[in-house]
């Protein structure tokens, strides 16, 4: 029974949902919970309020505890290890007293183009706009007064870990979205740290970059302990005890790799929710710098090529909500899950190229295609076959299109082989649909596991379990392959030739339609 053995808790703060998963020694889920939240667009900045972080975490933990007690007839008062994961990147600067100096600037913002361009040139290394160092340097270029007072800069996962444990620590995968990593050394790249410090030397700040970045730990090492204050932050009832081990916090990209057993060389995965990204663990370095490709790491420090796109399901979600309102106005109340499944399945009945419909779902900016802001659009020709099936298929194809542009660089210019990609995230929750269309988009087999829609929270729970067993000195790759995934069922779909040709036709419209998106961004301005 789970209550008699070890348990491991993973919590992930995703873009639209905070998820908690409690697993047992067999790595099976024994209790789960979730809390819906949403980013805010304030003063043209995508942000979350930190009060909402703790409201969500407490609600999530409370629901998890209730779920556990209902199943096992005993309170959840002891956990062997906890892991925290969250959206990577962004900007969370704190002063020496722990006060937040500027509103949380999330990965979704595309406001650091000048800084990212300068750093990329100086480093000789691609620095995306969403990386923490790009946000920091842009604040410096902007002359923002708070920069001189920074004592600690971290990610959302690093912030939560700090509040729970008192340790300014971060997992190497999450750290690789803050600043470039030297995989051999297992730390921030020393040469690039020097270059950055030289860039800002004339500002006279009382800090150097290494002073304000969190310490780095690889998976299985550097565990912290839950403090009394931290226990109270998660569980204000006092039921959760201090002293519990807390593994290094990781970003959602790293937990996605873990949840799909994609941490060894020649493996890869796709995560598709509010954003979409693919992670390919490399056998060799890329031949050159590509602005569309990020170089990050696995939770154990192996180099990874990452194609990250800001927009995926947000526009789809908006349309599903609209269809739900339309159904309700006609007296047909529907469950949200049923509505999603019905609409997604309709896409499989559409024409291979979505009937000539053009869709672009940029709710926010999209760095891969050069947009600092987004304007979701639908367009069609007079003779387009405007059916529900084609409409939804076009929305789903649009959610994958920008990823396709980045992945083509790896497959065509770098000859990276995609034998199979493991997928997880909300886009794959409806059986077969997202998987089949993604296989067509990337012209590669796509596989999913049973945990596809809730993978990140399970992934950080696995890292918590790995942390507690690290005394056995087993590499993360073999721990996952031999202990966790050996018995799990995987469903694989190979690309269908008609779907591949259909997506190629859609992509021609998509590329041409970027000019329409540019005109929309230039012409339609925010009214508030």
Question: What is the SS3 assignment for 297-341?
Answer: ECCCCCEEEEEEECCCCHHHHHHHHHHHHHHHHCCCCCCHHHHHH
pLDDT 10s digits, 311-320: 999 999 999 9
Find out whether 22 and 479 touch, Cβ atoms under 8 Å: no
Distance of CA 465 to the CA centre of its chain: 21
Find out whether 195 and 251 touch, Cβ atoms under 8 Å: no
Average pLDDT value for the chain: 93
pLDDT 10s digits, 162-178: 999 999 999 999 999 99
pLDDT score for 1: 41
> Rounded mean pLDDT of 194-212?
95
Token output for 126: 């691609």
pLDDT above 60: residue 452:
no
Main-chain phi, psi angles of 146, to 5 degrees = -70, -20
What percent of the chain shows pLDDT beyond 70?
A: 97
pLDDT score for 53: 97
> Rounded mean pLDDT of 111-118?
95
Question: If DSSP codes are grouped into helix, strand and coil, which group holds residue 222?
Answer: coil
pLDDT 10s digits, 400-439: 999 999 999 999 999 988 888 999 888 998 999 999 999 9
pLDDT score for 249: 97
pLDDT score for 2: 45
How far apart are alpha carbons 506 and 510 in whole angstroms? 6
Kindly indicate the confidence band of residue 184, based on its pLDDT and cuts at 50, 70 and 90: confident
pLDDT score for 78: 79
The runs of H, that is alpha helices, within 8-155 are 50-72, 113-123, 132-141
Kindly indicate the confidence band of residue 135, based on its pLDDT and cuts at 50, 70 and 90: very high
Compare 196 and 260 and report the one with higher pLDDT: 196
Start-to-end C-alpha separation, the chain: 55
> Rounded mean pLDDT of 68-81?
89
pLDDT 10s digits, 264-311: 888 899 989 889 999 999 888 888 999 889 999 999 999 999 999 999
pLDDT 10s digits, 471-502: 567 899 999 988 898 877 789 999 999 999 99
Burial annotation 328-350 (CB, 10 A radius, 16+ → b, else e): eeeeeeeeeeeebebbbebbbeb
- Mean pLDDT check: name the lowest of 204-208, 350-354, 470-474, 518-522: 470-474
pLDDT 10s digits, 39-63: 999 988 999 999 999 999 999 999 9
pLDDT 10s digits, 217-264: 999 998 999 999 999 999 999 999 999 999 999 999 899 899 888 898
pLDDT score for 450: 65
pLDDT score for 3: 45
pLDDT score for 284: 80
Token output for 292: 């569309």
How far apart are alpha carbons 316 and 482 in whole angstroms? 37
């Amino acid at each position: 029974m789970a209550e008699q053995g070890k348990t491991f808790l993973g919590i992930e703060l995703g873009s639209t949902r905070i998820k908690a998963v409690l697993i047992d020694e067999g790595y099976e889920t024994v209790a789960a919970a979730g809390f819906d939240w949403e980013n805010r667009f304030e003063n043209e900045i995508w942000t979350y309020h930190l009060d909402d972080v703790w409201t969500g975490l407490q609600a999530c933990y409370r629901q998890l505890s209730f779920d556990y007690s209902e199943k096992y007839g005993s309170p959840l008062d002891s956990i062997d290890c906890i892991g925290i994961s969250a959206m990577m990147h962004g900007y969370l600067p704190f002063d020496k007293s722990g006060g937040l100096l500027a509103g949380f600037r999330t990965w979704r913002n595309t406001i650091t183009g000048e800084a990212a361009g300068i750093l990329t040139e100086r480093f000789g290394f691609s620095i995306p706009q969403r990386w923490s160092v790009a946000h920091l340097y842009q604040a410096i270029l902007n002359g923002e007064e708070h920069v001189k007072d920074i004592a600690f800069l971290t990610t959302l996962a690093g912030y939560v870990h700090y509040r729970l444990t008192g340790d300014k620590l971060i997992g190497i995968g999450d750290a690789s979205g803050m600043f470039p990593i030297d995989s051999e050394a297992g730390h921030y790249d020393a040469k690039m740290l020097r270059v950055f410090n030289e860039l800002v030397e004339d500002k006279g700040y009382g800090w150097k970059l290494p002073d304000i970045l969190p310490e780095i730990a690889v998976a299985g090492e550097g565990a912290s302990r839950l403090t009394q204050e931290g226990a109270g932050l998660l569980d204000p009832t006092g039921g959760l005890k201090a002293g519990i081990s807390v593994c290094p916090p990781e970003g959602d990209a790293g937990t996605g790799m873990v949840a799909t057993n994609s941490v060894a060389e020649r493996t890869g995965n796709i995560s598709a929710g509010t954003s979409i990204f693919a992670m390919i663990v490399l056998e060799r370095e890329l031949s050159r710098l590509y602005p569309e490709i990020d170089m990050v790491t696995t939770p154990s420090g192996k180099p990874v090529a990452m194609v990250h796109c800001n927009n995926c399901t947000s526009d789809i979600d908006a349309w599903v909500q609209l269809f739900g309102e339309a159904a309700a106005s006609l007296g047909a109340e529907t469950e949200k899950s049923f509505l999603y499944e019905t609409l997604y399945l309709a896409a499989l009945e559409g024409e291979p190229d979505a009937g000539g419909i053009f869709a672009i779902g940029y709710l926010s900016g999209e760095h891969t295609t050069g947009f600092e802001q987004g304007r979701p659009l639908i367009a069609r020709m007079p003779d387009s076959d405007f059916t529900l099936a084609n409409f939804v298929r076009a929305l789903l194809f649009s959610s994958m299109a920008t990823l396709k542009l980045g992945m083509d660089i790896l497959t065509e210019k770098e000859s990276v082989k995609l034998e199979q990609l493991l997928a997880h995230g909300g886009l794959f929750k409806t059986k077969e649909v997202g998987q089949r269309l993604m296989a067509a988009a990337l012209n590669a087999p796509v596989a999913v596991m049973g945990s596809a829609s809730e993978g990140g929270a399970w992934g950080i729970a696995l890292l918590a379990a790995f942390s507690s067993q690290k005394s056995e000195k087993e590499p993360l790759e073999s721990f996952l392959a031999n202990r966790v995934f050996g018995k799990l069922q995987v469903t694989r779909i190979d690309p269908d030739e008609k779907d591949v040709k259909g997506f190629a036709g859609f992509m021609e419209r998509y590329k041409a339609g970027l000019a329409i998106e540019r005109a929309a961004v230039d012409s339609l301005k925010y009214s508030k």
